[in-house]
Structure 1
Amino acid sequence: MKTLLSLATAATLLSAAPFVSAQNPAGANATKYGIAVVDINYIFKKDARFEAQMKAIQSEMVGVNDTLNAKRTEIAKAEQAMQTLNIGSPEYKQQDENLAKAKADFQLDVNKQRREILEREAKVYYDTYQRVTSAITFYAKQKNIALVMRFIGEEPDPNRRDEIIASINKDVHFQNQIDITPDILAMLNQQQQAAARPGQPLQ
């Protein structure tokens, strides 16, 4: 299965490769030195398929939240109705039991929905990373590049401690026109355009 998937990916990349711009000033020296860098974070932000999949998940989350909010409102109304009953009465006890079960079921539903969303997001991230890795490998072999390193192309926000720390700890602090990020991103998006059918959303 993995072999078939790899062959299919390679074939798609081959079909997209001719459309990638032959001139990428940012990576002009990559083939010359046999070394390149790529900004994975930037690719994730601009990859068409990843963006479409994440938007689909976000839209689903809106629907899930609406459903959960409706259930929450029902529970709140039931609690208000219970206040009109006499404490200790059979009706009060029955309503109290029903509410306890409803709240427990609601929490289970919330946890289930959250877990499913997180699992779907994780799969999207994993699948995207696999596509990016395949594209980088294919490109490097085609261009006779022996080493591709990950780097951070964006400058850190001086007001964000986490970004400053990430910049300090980054692997590449200088690169001389060996950035192949534009080419990899172009390959991925051209691959997605080739796979999409007219009138159908990106999957």
Structure 2
Amino acid sequence: MKTMLAAAAAFALFAVSFAPQAQAQNPAGANAKKFGIGVVDINYIFKQHAGFRAAMDGMKTNFQSVETELKGEQQKIVQAEKQKQGYNAGTPEYNKLDDEIVQMKAQLQLTVTRRRKALAEQEAAIFYKTYREVDQAIDSYAKHYEIGIVFRFSGDEIDPNNRESILQTINRPVHFQNQIDITPDILAMLNRNSGGAAASNTSVGSRPGATRPR
């Protein structure tokens, strides 16, 4: 029973933390409540999400640490190879060092595999955690403003010289929206909880090169 109460309290606290602020009388998606439909640019939110960016910066630090570690192991192998050249082939010293080098290379390969897996899992965990936060924020916002459905869209400007960009634009699910873009409000909610209030003031319409479907 205590565990259930604790879980309920934790969920309630989580929900409250993502509740829209009371003073948000004029949200960026002004017509979202009117039409009961909203659109959100998930890619842009990930790029501007203060918590996600901080976590990814931490990933870079971890990657650099692993890279330094692996370079150190590689250097040990290089030094051993040079030392081996000082012995005559077939001598006990040569054979012993040769065996050690083989073991060092095998261990290095194993270490590389493990480190790559660990980094990949860490990155996946960051993306998943952020996605869950975004999803919860959208859910809370939509319920607060009585929005029945929220579609994903992209506010990226089309590059007429890039085939991939053109195809993505052609295939995007939303080609027109009339002030139902709730991206800035969702981002503000997320950054408020991540301590990134300054970044939360950024709007999709104001970002360089952004073209929102209208």
TM-score for both structures, normalised by structure 1 = 0.88
2:18 alignment partner, one of 13, 16, 31: 13
Which of 154, 164, 174 pairs up with 2:156?
154
Which SS does the other structure have where 2:195 is aligned?
helix
Bigger relative contact order, structure 1 or 2, given CA contacts below 8 A and separation 6+? 1
Q: Which residue of 2 aligns with 1:166?
A: 168
What's the CA shift for 1:189? 0.6
Higher helix share: 1
Distance 2:34 2:128 in 1: 32
Deviation sequence 1:98-157 (CA, Å, 0-9, x none): 000000000111111111011000000000000000000000000000010000111133
Alignment partners' CA distance in 1, 2:131 and 2:172: 19
Give the letter for the 1:186 counterpart: A
1:80 and 2:85 correspond: no
Determine whether 1:179 maps to 2:208: no
- Indicate yes or no: 2:25 matched with 1:22: yes
Task: Look up the SS of the partner of 2:108 in the other structure.
Answer: helix
Q: 3-state SS of the aligned residue for 1:9?
A: helix
SS in 2 for 1:18: coil
**Per the alignment, do residues 121 and 29 of structure 1 end up closer, same or farther by CA in structure 2, a change over 3 Å counting?**
same
Please list, as runs of the form range in 1=range in 2, the aligned pairs for 1:115-134 lying within 5 A after superposition: 115-134=117-136
For 2:116, the equivalent position in structure 1 comes to: 114
1:5 to 1:167, Cα distance in 2 relative to 1, 3 A: farther
Look up the SS of the partner of 1:149 in the other structure.
strand
Q: Distance in 2 between matches of 1:76 and 1:5?
A: 54
Q: Point out the more displaced range, 151-160 or 42-51.
A: 151-160
**How much has 1:163 moved relative to structure 2?**
2.5
Asked whether 1:97 is paired with 2:99, we answer: yes
After TM superposition, give the deviation of residue 162 of structure 1 in Å: 2.7
**3-state DSSP class of the match of 1:148?**
strand
Instruction: After TM superposition, give the deviation of residue 4 of structure 1 in Å.
Output: 5.5
Amino acid at match of 1:13: F
Name the CA shift for 1:138/1:191 in 2 (closer, same or farther; >3 Å): same
What SS does the aligned partner of 2:25 have? coil
Letter in 1 for 2:130: T
* Residue of structure 1 in register with 2:53 after alignment: 51
Q: Distance in 1 between matches of 2:111 and 2:10?
A: 35
Distance 2:57 2:97 in 1: 41
Aligned to 1:201: none
Partners of 2:179 and 2:41 lie apart in 1 by: 13
Cα separation, 1, equivalents of 2:44 and 2:108: 39
Q: Which residue of 2 aligns with 1:192?
A: 194
The code of the aligned residue for 2:137 comes to A
Q: Distance in 1 between matches of 2:60 and 2:132?
A: 22
Residue aligned with 1:37, SS = strand
C-alpha RMSD over aligned residues: 1.8
Which residue does the alignment assign to 2:206?
Answer: none
1:191 to partner: Cα distance: 1.3
